[in-house]
Amino acid sequence: MKKIIDGHRDIQELYTTIDEKSKEIDRLRNSSINEFRDRDFSEYCEYIVAFKLQERGWEVYQPLSDRYIDIVAIREINGKQIIRTIQVKGSRIEKEGTQLSYGLTHKPKDLMHDSAHFFIWLFYDKDEKENFIIISISDFIRLMGKHFFKSMSWRKGNCRIHFSADIQKTKLKEHLNKWDNLVKGGKSGIAELCISAQEVEDSWKSKNASEKWKKTNSRIIKQISPEMMERIRRKTEVDK
């Protein structure tokens, strides 16, 4: 995977890091998926997805800051450059009650308001076969349904999502190994759709939301003592 760097980073250090990562990936590939530590498994899935993208003609980059985006993929098709940002999640077979399932965690802040942003989930079945789910943000919201996004666990950001290990019997089959989904892109104009899945109160989506926020904020500030407000200002003040 290529690394986006700035002019201050030592190139030799970068090459050394890449070489070390490559050796680690080779070592992991010769091990059973079930032997990986969770952290190693997560990173391994990111590299496997990156390799698969490269095989399909995408240039693959790793952001310097890992904040909701694990991979930036670029490809030229019919003279047009396509850019996709991707968040990767991986899962091995889990047991939920008596059922075998895949499990992963997403949070409201993962729903970036951009048709170019995708989730790629890498599920390893009992035979350690790779199953890639390529899904846009809009399709993820459609897949989960309105009731899911009203659940308390989702709102709190600690929601563990489970899917049956028999993917062919679930709605996930529409997205299974569908790499062309990346080329097509997600549904445009999804900001309102994302906000509906992120906001706690429906009333906050109204045109008067900003005014409501100001009134609420003003009421809270009045309840804070002057001494505490001064401490808050000192903590948040930016030096000029």
pLDDT band at 6 (very low <50, low <70, confident <90, very high): very low
Q: 111 and 194 in contact (C-beta within 8 Å)?
A: yes
Q: Six-digit token pair at 26? A: 């080779």
Predicted pLDDT of residue 173:
94
Q: What percent of the chain has pLDDT over 90?
A: 37
Which SS3 state, helix, strand or coil, does residue 68 take?
coil
Burial class of 46 by CB neighbour count within 10 A (0 to 12, 13 to 18, 19+): buried
Predicted pLDDT of residue 207:
55
Each domain of the chain, given as residue ranges in start order, spans 2-201
Predicted pLDDT of residue 193:
77
Cβ neighbors of 163 (< 8 A, separation 6 or more) are 101, 102, 103, 123, 170, 172
Q: 161 and 106 in contact (C-beta within 8 Å)?
A: yes
Q: Is the pLDDT of residue 140 over 90?
A: yes
Phi-psi region of 168 (alpha: psi -120 to 50; beta: other; left: phi over 0): alpha
Q: 213 and 221 in contact (C-beta within 8 Å)?
A: no
Identity of residue 3: K
Q: The pTM is what?
A: 0.71
pLDDT one-digit tens code per residue, 8-63: 445 455 555 555 666 666 665 667 777 888 888 988 999 999 999 999 999 999 88
Q: 138 and 186 in contact (C-beta within 8 Å)?
A: yes
> Which CATH number is 2-201's, of 3.40.50.300, 2.60.40.1840, 3.10.129.10, 3.40.1350.10?
3.40.1350.10
